[in-house]
Structure 1
Amino acid sequence: MATKLKFAAAGNLSFFSTLRTRVDAYFTEQAISPHANRAMWVKTCFFLTGYFTLYLLILSNQFSALGMLGFCLLLGIFAACIGFNISHDALHGAFSSSPRINRILGNSFYLLGASPYVWKITHNIVHHTYTNIPGHDEDIDIAPGLVRLDPQQPHHLWHMYQHIYSFPLYMLASLSWVFRKDYIKFFKEQIGQHKNNNHPRAEYLNLFAGKALYYTAFLLLPYLLLDLTIWQVLAGFVAMHLAEGLVLGLVFQLAHVVEGTAFPLPDASGLMTESWAIHQLQTTANFAPRSRLAAFFCGGLNRQIEHHLFPKVCHIHYPALTKIVRETAGEFGLPYLENASFGTALYSHYCMLRRLGQKS
């Protein structure tokens, strides 16, 4: 069993209290809510409308097989963007002050073929608490044995080539999620520090019913309604998830597995040397923080530092918070990691994969 972890109670604790005071003051002075505004609702309508339009265009059976394949690729990208922009905020309770609205919009995660309940456990509880801590944060334990994302993982000969084969593997992330990951995580007795063996009965039904509806909508109905062979239907389904998986995989990896991010270990008693907030600064990086396109499509995940420190604030406000967080970190002599563009972050991740692929 993993060592019970605790974050340091002493140290630079005034950093986070100062930061929270300044962030709270920003919302008070601007007389705005930390939740969704009109621009956020416009984004929500855009991605949901695009998703269902593409799905209905495919089911209309009015296009060639090649045309429908193109729609499948776009549908995978829109699904990823719904996850980034809508599901993610709602499942953190950041989209609205209303738990009911958050619950309804959080269920948009089913549109990706994924379980919102399992995500809240693995992401909200485990990843956000134990970010980049080997043996505790399972987000850095993808494709166990194949991809080495932290220096504590065992090294194998094939890791020398992981900077080449990891990117195609990321494309399989969504397929794994739909058919494998949710089931494994749901029935795993413990995830990191979280005891995972006492699910509400309703969540068993939600898991299997949600999966069944997704398989029906994206496999059975296309087979029954379209003039396609079963192999063409499967090809479209796989193409959709390869596009979705690549987008999901790259965006998530560029936040925590790039040059400069740390993979800190606790001492023998399970104590981390820094407070939780400083730990987030050490293990998280932003990318393309000045890009409006990245902000629109990535749902604020290009500003992961702000997200990890304030997960209950809607991502539409992160551009304003960035200046506050960066300046406060500088005042306290703390790191603030960022890559200027998506390309530089991608190259940094490539370099990290290559370095971690070498035997220490």
Structure 2
Amino acid sequence: MNRQFIEVDYCNSAQSYKWLWATVSFVQCILTYYVIADDLLLAPIYLVNLLLYFIGSAFYVIVLKKHTVFPSHVLLMSAAIAIVLWLIMAHTVTLLWRDDHATEKVLLLGFFSMLMCFNGSRFMLITCTVPIMIMHVYYQLTYVEQSGMSLLVSTVKYPFFVIAMITTQVNHNTRLVASHQKLVALNKELTVLRNLDDLTGIYNRRAFDEKLKYLLELQNRNKQSVSLMLIDVDFFKRYNDSLGHLQGDKCLREVAKALNDAVKRETDVVARVGGEEFGIILPNTNLDDCQLVARKVINTLRDKMILHPNSSVSSYVTASIGCACIQGSITTSEVIYHRADSALYRAKEQGRNRYCI
């Protein structure tokens, strides 16, 4: 059976929880001070309450290190234990000091203390407020003999107090949601940047390897074909030596654009896998279609007409391509990569500016 959970909103931020704990602790200490100064009878009782509060805070800190939400039964059990403790203290006061007035005071302080402790949950906030109001009205009618408008005014302060706390909580939650949304957007942006090549703006080797592994696993399950092309810019070292690295970087960016122009499907993956080496993954593509894409890559790069003064095969930048296809057989990324790399080596051996399978 699935347990219901009540989120303690300040748990989402360790810093927010620290500030909330500090605020509640400060209020508890102030209340204790005024109780000691105003009523010597209640002083030891509220000192015990302060001790229990800090013990409970330590328990909450331990739980918060492992959970971002509290199970509802934990909160309800905490409330039940607190109520029992306050009833015991109230009964003790009545027996020891024979002061019936102190019983209601103790219970009123107890429920107010619980209200402060459980302000992270609206459910517990409202649950603790109801007995406070009932106890207050009973105490005022029985012992203070307050009635009419004065009783109404003294009672409605509790709902207003709850509304103020809920409003503060809503504002805090709004800030948390905004911070969370901003963090999610930044994480998405970082994920994109982590997978992109700084120079060309296409996928890098990390993303290429991850996508190849994923597509091959998908192919193994669905018995679909996957084609891989490894592309190497011909005589790129000579290009760099003659024109300089800045021009070489510009050349690589133009090659990346040519590869992107040659493939049209959103599922195709174009990446820079090395210095002047690129890769293209073509899911659901057989060997014949892979060869069509290879020819299109060669033609698109030729149409770019990037001058190469030291090439042995052309006056323009060209590329050699190795193609491999896996269809209906279980394999790994290492196997298909080795096949494409061997085909690339043959393309270079046969004169470059061509593709081999």
The TM tier, using the shorter chain, reads under 0.3
Higher RCO (C-alpha under 8 Å, 6+ residues apart): 1
Q: Which one has the largest radius of gyration?
A: 2
Q: Taking structure 2 as the reference length, what is the TM-score of the superposition?
A: 0.24
